[in-house]
Amino acid sequence: MNHQVIEHKNQKYIEVTSSSPLLGSEQDALDLVALGMEQQTGLLLLHAEALSEDFFQLKTGVAGAMLQKFINYHMKTAVVLADQEGQHLRFREMVSEANKGQAFRVFETREAAENWLLG
């Protein structure tokens, strides 16, 4: 997993730009939570390129399982996904609903994701 700890506005978060293999399981979510605990941050910024295709296919249950782990462990998570329109309708519906909450949101730009995380 290609990640770095970013310090900005007196806060820090973990940014994951890529991963090999791609992130796509509950264990991957738990590994990210553990990394957050090690770095003493509850903020996570994921780039879509680090996520497996199964994450975007709601029928697999991957997104739901991963998001539940982030919520359970209070890991505020932003995903940068430039082409949301290119995703399946069900995923876009889930994003629309999730973007109303304070635990997980999807953004088209890194800057918008970072502003929400640190806001």
Instruction: Give the residue carrying structure tokens 């791609």.
Output: 22
4-60 tens-digit pLDDT: 999 998 999 999 999 999 999 999 999 999 999 999 999 999 999 999 999 999 999
Query: Percent helix, strand and coil across the chain, each rounded to 5?
Result: 45, 25, 25
> What CATH number labels 2-118?
3.30.750
Q: pTM surpassing 0.85? A: yes
Beta strand 76-80 pairing with 104-107: parallel
Domain residue spans of the chain: 2-118
Report how far residue 36's alpha carbon sits from residue 52's, in angstroms, rounded to the nearest whole number: 20
